[in-house]
Amino acid sequence: MDARRRFLRQAAGLAAGGVLLPSRAFSADLGPSTLPRGTLDSALLEALPGKRPLIKRAYRPPNFETPTEYFSEAITPNDAFFVRYHLANIPQVDAKTWQLKVGGEGLEAPYILTLDELRKFEPAEITAVCQCSGNRRGLSNPHVTGVEWGYGAMGNARFKGARLRDVLQRAKPRKELLEVAFDGADAGVTPATPDFQKSIPAWKALDENTLLAYEMNGAPLPHWNGFPVRLVVPGWTGTYWMKHLVSIEALTKPFGNFWMAAAYRIPLGLFPLVDRFTSQDTAANTPITEMVVNSLITNLRGGETVRMGSPAEVKGIAWDGGYGIRVVEVSVDGGRTWRDAQLGPDLGRFSFRTWSHRYTPSARGPLTVMAKATNRRGGTQTFDLIFNPPGYHNNVVQRIDVQAI
């Protein structure tokens, strides 16, 4: 039985029986062996209501990542899509009474929208990757604090909704508009916890691809992924993709709350990023913006065997911050030689791109499989970690050791 089928059988058995088996029985599914010891020891597959069993990294607030097996397809199923929250008080939002406040000093004509009214704006649809800034944080060396994610704090879906630009334009933005801030219905358990709110620059808010999404893969958003409406900021890391959206505030001054001023920042110049959020810059650091170029091998696990002389395949996905993937190179000899993989269908420049590469192991012994993606503007992955204390933007080329027998 191949790894994918074995995994799916285990996951299904777990869901049906509702029993949580000891983590060690599934250690290969729960993340790479270089995660912190405690993270590996406490990892479990567990199903939130309405979700398939996902890898639990924290329960309160819920932080669950998608097992690698689901990334064998370009589109991540809604019930397998990862879940990330900062705050533990997460209400069930009623779509019938839900309202979205569109206000702030940057607008001349603030107003309030119901879901029916939001649906009357011309719909737009876009396939886009939502990836947590800290995806792969658990692979940082040395380890850093934060949710110790493996490879699965990300997903790719077809999002449908109204363009934020259209919703803002109806409220007549002033020319001084600088940033647009967003708040969701969730909150901290104590009033002392800073509410999770985020802003984006006016230029990104007015980009035609930035959406107020009410559908994901043709269905209403799952509760855990922001029902009834979430912000979709294609190309940018998940932190800006506000879930359970309740308020949009157009600002003429930089938004100064904790989640902008103190969190989700990277040292100036450390990463080769293009998109700038200059109204939030300090002398030392800048808000995280677009995702770095990255790839994931989806059909191989360390320690697997392949047959000498028989055709074998390496498969995976690649993505970036919205330029589109130009090439994925694969090495089966630890990086000595590289071959171009065959790219799968192009679902748009913000989407996962599948790829595959066939080879025939020519000798018995260990093989190290690697994959490296490059985007259309020449951005690529790194071989050595660009260390940063919050553990963001880890796009280190994977090395998977298999055995030819």
Nearer to ligand MTE among residue 247 and residue 299 (C-beta): 247
Chain residues 79-138 in contact with Mo ion, contact rule CB under 5 A? 132
* 244 lies in the site for ligand MTE, by CB under 6 A: yes
Pick from ligand MTE, Mo ion, none: which does 392 bind, CB < 5 to 8 A by kind? none
* 243 lies in the site for ligand MTE, by CB under 6 A: yes
* 83 lies in the site for ligand MTE, by CB under 6 A: yes
CB of 239 to Mo ion, least distance (A): 5
CB of 243 to ligand MTE, least distance (A): 4
Q: Using alpha carbons only, what angle is made at residue 133 by residues 132 and 134, rounded to the nearest 5 degrees? A: 85
* 31 lies in the site for Mo ion, by CB under 5 A: no
Judged by CB under 6 A, the number of residues near ligand MTE is: 20
Distance CA 188, CA 340 (A): 48
- Binding region for ligand MTE (CB under 6 A) out of 18-26, 75-83, 338-346, 371-379: 75-83
Nearer to ligand MTE among residue 132 and residue 180 (C-beta): 132
* 196 lies in the site for ligand MTE, by CB under 6 A: yes
- Binding region for Mo ion (CB under 5 A) out of 237-245, 247-255, 310-318, 396-404: 237-245
Pick from Mo ion, ligand MTE, none: which does 58 bind, CB < 5 to 8 A by kind? none
Closest CA to 152 of 76, 60, 257: 76
Closest CA to 39 of 152, 151, 149: 149
* 186 lies in the site for ligand MTE, by CB under 6 A: yes
Nearer to Mo ion among residue 147 and residue 185 (C-beta): 147
* 242 lies in the site for ligand MTE, by CB under 6 A: yes
Distance CA 132, CA 318 (A): 15
Nearer to ligand MTE among residue 73 and residue 304 (C-beta): 73
Distance CA 282, CA 265 (A): 10
- Residue selected from 52, 57, 84, 326 as contacting ligand MTE according to rule CB under 6 A: 84
Nearer to Mo ion among residue 104 and residue 391 (C-beta): 391
CB of 133 to ligand MTE, least distance (A): 7
CB of 25 to ligand MTE, least distance (A): 26
- Binding region for ligand MTE (CB under 6 A) out of 45-53, 80-88, 167-175, 274-282: 80-88
Pick from ligand MTE, Mo ion, none: which does 379 bind, CB < 5 to 8 A by kind? none
Closest CA to 383 of 371, 392, 375: 371
* 82 lies in the site for ligand MTE, by CB under 6 A: yes
Pick from ligand MTE, Mo ion, none: which does 130 bind, CB < 5 to 8 A by kind? ligand MTE
* 212 lies in the site for Mo ion, by CB under 5 A: no
* 225 lies in the site for ligand MTE, by CB under 6 A: yes
Nearer to ligand MTE among residue 154 and residue 318 (C-beta): 154
Nearer to Mo ion among residue 32 and residue 390 (C-beta): 390
- Residue selected from 75, 132, 177, 367 as contacting ligand MTE according to rule CB under 6 A: 132
Distance CA 405, CA 402 (A): 10
- Residue selected from 239, 280, 331, 381 as contacting Mo ion according to rule CB under 5 A: 239
Give yes or no for a contact between 226 and 180, defined as CB atoms under 8 angstroms apart: no
Give yes or no for a contact between 239 and 198, defined as CB atoms under 8 angstroms apart: yes
Closest CA to 211 of 151, 164, 169: 164
Nearer to ligand MTE among residue 23 and residue 89 (C-beta): 89
In the complex, the residues that contact ligand MTE under the rule CB under 6 A are 81-87, 130, 132, 184, 186, 196, 225-226, 238-239, 241-244
